[in-house]
Each structure stands twice: as C-alpha cells, then as structure tokens.
Chain A
Amino acid sequence: MISESTNSNTKSLKKNRSSLQKKETFAAWFFCALPLSFLLLFLVTPFIIAFVISFTDQRLITNPNLPTQFIALRNFLRLFNSPSFHQALLNTFIFAVVVVPLQTFLALVLAVLVNQKLRFINLFRTIYFSPVVTTMVVVSIIWYFFYNPGEGLINQMISFISFGKLGPYGWLNDTSLALPAIMVLSIWQGVGFQMVIYLAGLQGIPEELYEAGRVDGANTWQQFWQITIPQLRNTTIFVIISTTILAFKLFTQVWVMTKGGPQGATKTIIVLLYEEGFKMLRVGYASAIGVLFFLIVLAVSLIQRIYLKEERAVT
C-alpha cells in the first residue's frame, strides 16, 4: 500500500514536475524581487554614481549657470596634492596601525580570561561587553569629560600615579595627544565585540587536542602557543580584518570630541569626506574620497581572501 501510494505520488510528481519547477521559479523571483530592487536602488546605484561623479565637479545644489562638467582625474589629482588629505590618510593609518593590533591582542587576552570555568564568569562576560551596547556618541561625551585639560579625571590619575611629576596634559587640545586619546576610548568601547568572537573561537577548539598536548608533556604556556594560537588562525584573520575596516571608518568619536582638530590632528578620511561633501557641498570631490576609501577597504579584504586561501591549501 505504502509503496503503491508513493509510486503514484512520484508518477504524479514527474507529470507535474515542469509545472512545479515553473511555480518554484515564480516563487523564487517573487522572493527576490523586492530585496534585489532595494539593493540595486540604495546600494548599487549610489555606488556607481560615486564612481561617475568622482570624475565631475558635481555640487549638492547645482547652479543652473554652471552646469556640472566632466573633469577627468582632476579631483583625484587635487586629492593627491592636498595636505589635508595627506593628513587625513596619515591619521587614519596611524589610528589603524595602533588600534588594530592592540585591540586584537586585548580581545584575545580577555577571551582567554572569560573562557575559564569559574563561578560568576557570565557576569564578567556581560560587564566586558557592556560598552559595546553603549552608543558611541555617549561614550565620546563621557570620555570628553574625563579628558578635561585641567582637573580632568585622567590628568588627576596620571598625576597621582607619577607623584605629581607628569601632567597636566591638554589631551584633546594637544595635537600630539588628541589622536591617542581617541584611540583609548575606541578600544574601550569596541574590544568586547572581538572578545566574544574570540571566545567562540576558543570554545570551538576540540578538547582532545589539549589532552594530546598534556600527554606529550606540554605545559599551559606551550599548549597556548602550539595549540590555541594556531587553532585560532581563522578567527584572528577575521578579527584583524573586520577591526581594520572599522578603524578606517573612524568618524563618530572624532566628530563628537574634536571635529577633526586641533589643527587637523584627528582629521580622518571619513571626516574629510563629510566636510567636503556635506559642509562644502563639493559632492564630486567627496565622492573621489569615497572611491579611494573603497579601494583601501577592497585591498584589505583581498588580503584576507589570500590568507584564508593559503590556510585552506595547507590543511
């Protein structure tokens, strides 16, 4: 009975296969149509426009007497010769070069700490993660207060630790200290996110590896270097790349705390893009910044692809 009924079912299925396939194709396009058109309209179109207008002198509000003109590579040439673009590029790179390794390292240390089987460990995980759910604008405001150039909390702490020998510093008013000051709060706010990613990585390492290590007489330190670190390779690549891209997007903290100052000491690529595109209304020029920014992000991601491929080839 059962086999008969399934037989007849498959027969009718075969008969209806083409109509079923048609239905499926129809359903698939129904499911795809709206999301795809959103992506095309609000992501692909502006992305293409960004490339196109980066070769023009397009402005946000067009002047009917001065039509937008094609100016070839002039925006890019101007950028390459612009001291403020050099400064923005340099600041952004310095920020990334300091923050990315430091934050990745701290995230790993925190993950190892909260991966212990201890009582209340969940409480510590929650606390370490809590800055991530605190909006960056709020974080920037609180730290702005801490960085008060006179009697601020940070100055007092430094003065206390150094027995009054160091400080007071100007922090956000000091061209050499403003960017490091922003680095500290950025790490404070963001490290919990990478910690959780590392924690998942740590928990994915099979326990047998450690047992084998212990049988071979490896101590905790050796186990960490020879088992944990290699096993976390993919996680580390992911954390480094995603933190790098986030670091290049640096904007909110800077805009709230210093608006790029003092004297451009905290001006970043996105701050420049915002100023040129939104304040100066030079949309074409700002788009050229956007295009260069995209190329940097693309290069970073391609490096990730290459590393991940190497990894696959080895195993």
Chain B
Amino acid sequence: MLIVAYMLTVLAVIMGVYVACYAAILWSNPDNYENMPFWNSIWLAYVGGVTALIILSGSIYKIWELRRGGGAGVAEMFGGKRVPPNTEDLLQRRLLNVVEEMAIASGMPVPPVYLLPENGINAFAAGFSSSDAVLGVTQGAIDLLNRDQLQGVLGHEFSHILNADIAMNMRLMGSLHGITLLGDAGWLVLRSMGGRRHSGDKGGAHPAVFILAVILIIVSGIGSLAAGAIKAAISRQREFLADASAVQFTRNPDGLAGALKIIGGYASSSSVTHAGAAPASFMFFGNVLRSPLDYAWFSTHPAVTLRIQRLDPSFDGSLPPMNVPQRARMVANEASLGLSLGLIGAADLATGVTMGRLSASEHPEMANAAELINDIPLQIRNFSHDPCLARALVYALLLCREKDVRAKQIQWLEKHAEQGVFRDLMDVYAQMKGLKSHLRIPILDMCMPALKSLSKPQYHRFISNVQALIRADGHYSGFEFVLQQILLRHLAPAFSTVAMPRNKYRDMSMLTESAVYVVAFLACTGGNKHPQDLQRRIFYQLGLDAEPLDAEGLNFTALGKALQQFEEASPEVNAMLLQACEFCVLEDGQVLQSEYELLRAIADALGHPMPLLKPRESAVFPQ
C-alpha cells in the first residue's frame, strides 16, 4: 500500500518535472514553438531518469544517514539533548526512573532518553530496533505531567518500539526525503539566483532556470503532501493501537487519558517548534503542528478528544484551560516528595503508591518490574547510572567465584582497565556481595544508557576487557553467554552503523540447521529426561525434516552463530522459533534460572523481548 503510493507519487513528480522542463525551454525559445512537440520520448526518458535518480539517491542517502545515526541521530535532528543517565535534576531523574521501569517491564534494555527544549507536551520513539531505540520527551511534558501521566505517554511510545512501528517510521522518513530533496534543490537555485541578480550578472538561461526551480518546489510540495496524506491515514490507526497497548501495558487508563486532557487544555498543546520535527510529525505522540483542522486528512494524529473518548467513555468533551504555573508547581512537588523518600535514583514513592493501589494481580508486569528494581540495592542502582561505574559494575558481574581465576581477572583489569575504573571496581564488588543472581540481568539492562555514553575508544577498551574476563577461566558459562549477547547486541549500534532489519529467510526450512541447533541446545541443557523425543516433537511441529542432536559437542559459541542467522529471518519465522523454545523450556514443568536467562537472551536475539520474571519461590529458580 505504502509502496504503491510512493511509486505513484514519484511518477507524478517525474511528470511534473517534465512539464516544468518543457515550460522552461519554451520560455527561453518562444520562437521555436513549432519544432517542439509536447511529447518527446527521449526527453521524457532523460527527465524521468534524472528525477528518479535524484529521488532515489536522496532516499538512499537519508536511509544511510539514519542507519549511521540510529535513533540517537533522529533525536538530535529534532534538537534533542541527551539526559545524562546520572542526572540529579528531580524531574529528569523521575523521567529516567519511569523509563527504566517500563523497559524492565517489557524486557528491553533501557533506552537512552533525549530532552527537547520545547514548551509543548510531546514525546517520540526513534530507531530501527530496540537496540538503537531512543526516547525523546519535551521539557513541557516533564514539567506538566505527573508520574502516572508520564507513564501513560511513555507506555504509548514503548508500544511503538515493541510493535516495530519505529523501524517503519525510519524507512518512511528516508523514502520521503528524496521527494522533499527536489524541493530543497529548487529553493537553493532560487536563492543563488537572487544573489546573482543583485550583482547585475545576466546569464543566458536565467528565466528558464527560474521557472524550473519554482515548478520543482511546487511539484515536490504536492508530492510530499500526497505522500503525507497516505502516511497520515496509516499513522492515525497506529496511534489508536499504541494508546490501547499503553493502557494494557500500564493497566492504568487514567494516566494516558489524564495526559491527553492536560494537552487538550494547554495553550501550547503538543506543538514542537524545531524545524526538523514537522516533516516527521508521524513519529510523535501528539500533533507537532497546531492546526484548527484537528481531524483533517493531513493530520498524522486523531483528534485529542477522540483519543480521550476511547480511553475514558465518561469523558464529556470539555477541556478546561490549565493554569500552567500552578500545574508546574504541583508536578514539581510530587516529584520531590516521591524522590526524597527513596533518595535520588530510587524507584520513587509514586510507584509505591501506584503499586499499592492496584494489586499485583491486575498489574502484573509493571508491579514485577518495580519490585525487581526495588530488590536491587540502591547503591548499585546508582552505580548503573554512572558511565564510569557502570563499566566497573559489568566487570564485577563477570568476576569469577573461584579465587584463582578471580585473581587472574583482577590482574588483567589492573593492567588494561582505566585506573579510575579499576579503583571503583573493588568498591562495586564489595557492594555486590550477597546479590541475588536473578538481579544480574536487570542490572545489566539498567547499565545500557550509561554504557552508550562512552566514547568510542572507551567502548572498544571496555568490550575487549569484557571478552578477556569471559575467557579467563577457559570456560564459557551460560551467564557469560547471555551477558555477552546482550552487551554486544545492544551496545554496538551506538558506536557503528545500525543493521537494517532484513527478511532474507521467510521460511523456517531455509534455516533448518540453525533452528535444530537452538532447539537441541535448550532440550539437552534443560534437565529434560528425554531430550531426543522432545526434539523430535518440536521438529515435527516446526515442519523441519531433521534428526535430533546429542548433548555432546553442543557449545555456546556455535549457539551464538546459529542465533545470528535469525537476524535476517522474517518476524514470523522468529516468532515461531521462539514459541518452540518456550515450549522446550516449559515442557518438563520446571524452569531453571540458567534456562530462563538463556531463553530470555534467545528471545532478545530473535527481536521479541521477553518480560523479566521475579522468581516466586526457590522451586522456580533454585539457588
């Protein structure tokens, strides 16, 4: 649908450019009218070729640029500034805490957060996948929304990330760029001509070039408008969907509805004034441009009142204007009250209140996440927010229980880690004594934003140290595998080009060997009594024609390679494999902690993040 619309738009633009060229030539040689039929296939091929080339190269260039910058590049394009992960500003801290909880609840690494210096209340998510995803929030949103409302808005954005809407938005942004580029070229020509006019220089082809430029601008304008209308129609549907998922996610329709009511009663509404934002309006939570035609064809978002009505059927449509200073004071008070009890960096009071109000059973994911975060000692949570200490934290997670190996590891770090980090390491290690092992993965997830703010040389040093620590005991353990998978997968996009999701393999049978390996690994390491039978059953269900593997010879290195193959598989294939993996783990009625962590790493590698569970009893996660 979108592709057809795009093709039609490009065709229309080519025709427009052709007419423009014809008019320009006619203008420059009016006497030659007789010799110039309107249809000239050679000219058409010329014009069409060059125009298509420009549009195509513009789009390719933009997609290339988006891949290099990932979500962070987009946030900066909108004028966003990264919130330091260890910020001590109350409102920013609260924002980061909410993001952290939602990420842990959805089983994603915590994304970096950008702040846009805008008065309007708005937010966006950008990136190709959960690895390079970033969240952006306006200053107005953190100043004027209370915790529940902020959670509602961020829940909406998280659902865009989880539903892979953001990847589609990135592609859309890239393809549309080619068309607008044509208009930009027109403007550039006009401006440079204006300059020459003043200097009195009269070149031969000027009037023709002038007309060409003007028509280019018009054509490109109409082209992007047409594309915009289609894009808006699709976007509006997805906004409703994201609203619904946000409610499902936070189990609190009042939060999101409350935020929309605030936006509705706010003079600045959800406007974003930065020039980079308007063409990417479809990426935002609310309409970027303030328009009286709220539900017009070109609006990328449904009307605020309509969105509220779907969340709150008792809504009577009245949106009383808001007293801004009073509202800001109230929000600031709530934030400082919430944070003062748990000190900076803690999951704050408001969570406690929310969690208390809604029992865990009707609020399972968020309650689980808040509990998990609360189980992590405050000191360690603070460490995970600091770029320097987060590295020490990861090193400490990898220190071996055996004294000899640990001594070797410490010796390595003394030589190869920055001395400041090494010094902190012992401090961090001391704090981690007695830490419950199921908290290791959430801690790792929480370290992500801090680790993404390393410089490139620091990052390379960090990764090579992590690999050395893993190699130290000559044994590749399950936890080490999971840690390395998560780290490499989610950190790399911040320091290199982002891989585009590709659907090279659309059928499980194209990846038989890898699928067999993954399933066999889980079946043989999960303590199942008849791993061969289990494998046969799963292979049958997956429609694979393969023989079960023996436990011998299975290793993590090969598992990593097998999983890598699925990066190029279609989402359907990945979902199917993940289902098989879940079945494999659950089949014998008991889930070992190592099994669960491995399953989570596999889910992560397959692009379907899995929420973290808090072990209920030791029966689920034996010590």
Q: Do A and B bind each other?
A: no
Q: Which residues of A contact B (CB under 8 A)?
A: none
Q: Which residues of B contact A (CB under 8 A)?
A: none
